[in-house]
Structure 1
């Protein structure tokens, strides 16, 4: 969990994508997240978290549906939503926190 604190305690917004390889909706988000990361460059971070490999973290954050997307800034959760999103919507939301 201390590594999680290091991930989210940064000055730029961090988009977390909680996914599982067996979940089609969640894996469908991978190319969208690549687009978001490419569009924002070093202004934000995009991090994918496999819930099967990080069960303790997923439980602590009450991740139920996949994909679950969260935006943190300065260690604080600013936005959260379950389900697919398109790249332009995610970019717009992240830009609110730049």
Structure 2
């Protein structure tokens, strides 16, 4: 999983990663928000989910201390991190800002 994850986040296209756990109640509020974000940005962005219980090394490496945590990557580097439930308008703003950068 680590190699696949690293390959995905090194993309030219921004990648939004949702760090979650099945037992986390607030984590269940994130998928509908991400669905709306994806419908807004379509193929301009990739969104993936990482279960922290199944992938503790990845979560630890990116210092995910609470869930849900969203991290936006571009070319393998962290562009933005949001903890807790982040609303759609804030996510749209962050993504738009990073889509317009080279």
* Cα RMSD (Å): 0.9
The alpha carbon displacement at 1:22 in A equals 0.7
Aligned residues: 98
Q: Deviations over 1:14-60 (max 9, x none)?
A: 11110011111111111101111111100011111111111111112
Q: Is the 8 A contact 1:20 1:27 kept in 2?
A: no
Per-residue deviation, 1:66: 0.6
Map of 2:29 onto structure 1: 28
What residue is the counterpart of 2:49 in the other structure? 48
What are the ranges of 5 or more consecutive residues in structure 2 without an aligned counterpart? none
Q: Name the CA distance, whole Å, in 2 between partners of 1:48 and 1:40.
A: 17
In structure 1, list runs of 5 or more residues that go unmatched. Answer: none
| 1:15 and 2:10 matched | no
User: CA separation in 2, counterparts of 1:67 and 1:93?
Assistant: 17
Q: What residue in structure 1 maps to residue 91 of structure 2? A: 90
User: Structure 1: which 4+ aligned runs deviate by more than 6 Å?
Assistant: none
TM-score, length basis structure 1: 0.94
